[in-house]
Structure 1
Amino acid sequence: MCNNGDGTVSVIDVATDSVIDTIRVGISPWALRYVSNHNRIYCANNVDNTVSVIDGTTNRVVANISVGNGPVALEYNPLSDRLYCANSNSGDVSVIDCATNNIVNTHRVGYGPVALSCDTIGSQVYVANLYSSSITVIQDVSGISETNSKQKPVKQKIVNQRLTLSENQNGCILNILGQKVLDLTAGDNNLNSLTSGVYFLKLNNIPSGIKVLILH
């Protein structure tokens, strides 16, 4: 668990719900991502612009990686063994090779990237840009450098507690962190399980099928 105020990460034993270790990382730890291939935990430190690498066996920091300005989100693509770090203040995404913990690429995206989501089927990474109201799509191909990222404007859709999809259409709703919170099918979909706020609507089989969904 990130402790933003004191620059540490707490290790909790889920069997006993007790803290068993405290790890000193960078200033203002903001996000964590576990990479099972290497048994490492990556921690984005928002203020000192680094990602700390924690050994999952020893609970010790084994590396600190310099990234862009204001890292706030991490996402891992197991197909390419790469970690993506969204840097909100510099408007870019750092790409880390988890085998070496080296930066292999930096992608310029929109203004204020705050969330990432990886599509492992198409090996694409979606970046939510808060201040430019857009989604940037980064194509990640294992063993090959990523292609240039493409920024897609995001259309807004305002709904209440029901959303209707046309025949043969389906998709899902994502929260602001890029996590799926509801599957959608053709016809009427009840949204009562969701609280009011901003979400992403992802429609399958449509290339430009991502919209900002404002739920009242």
Structure 2
Amino acid sequence: MARKKIIFVIVEGPSDDEALGMIFSRIYDSRKVYIHIMHGDITTARGVSPANVSSKIGNEIRTYASSNHYGKDDFDQIIHIVDMDGAFIPDEYVVEDRKCTGILYTTTGIFTNNRQGILKRNQQKKANISKLCACQEIWKVPYRMFYMSCNLDHVLYGKQNSTDKDKEYDAFQFARKYKNEIPEFLYFISKSDFSVIGNYKESWEYIKQELHSLQRHTNLGLCFTEQELKDKFIK
């Protein structure tokens, strides 16, 4: 019996896995879903640039494949979920605020006590995201990247500045709500007022404009438009 093809899902942190891992496994139950936690944002990692970002991701996939005796033909696709973090907003909306102890996100600006550091981060993130959203395959495996804006907590729970404790709690509650209600999840992610649905390329052009990368938007619903999912879950 042939083993299941792998859907390699890349997320930034453990709470992202908690929120979406079980749901993805239920949706793609005819394939093997592996959630790969990067423990950070690869698009802003030190030394990562448009010249090497796809190879960095490829290294993560090859390492997993090698340790589990898989080859590239064992992979169905790579799904990469990335937080936007307001990276594409105009520089004037990054505001220096000495009272901030960290980074404060709102739908109208980023407030920080290190404005130059955030501007530098945004520049790197923009360049790497622009490279990846135009990438069609990595390690000869189909690749697509989907965004959460301003971050996953914002899209799934309506919160922009969650603590780690809040992230864990909200992720657990979200997974519990939807793990056995897949049609409801698909409706939530595809039909909400924050869902950016239509053309993949156009969805990326949209999030790069104005303050959209700070506001509540996601194109993750485009991940679930295959006819087999419509036939199986959407009546």
TM range (shorter): under 0.3
TM-score of the superposed pair, with normalisation by structure 2: 0.23
TM-score of the superposed pair, with normalisation by structure 1: 0.24
Between structures 1 and 2, the one with greater strand share: 1
Between structures 1 and 2, the one with greater helix share: 2
Higher RCO (C-alpha under 8 Å, 6+ residues apart): 2
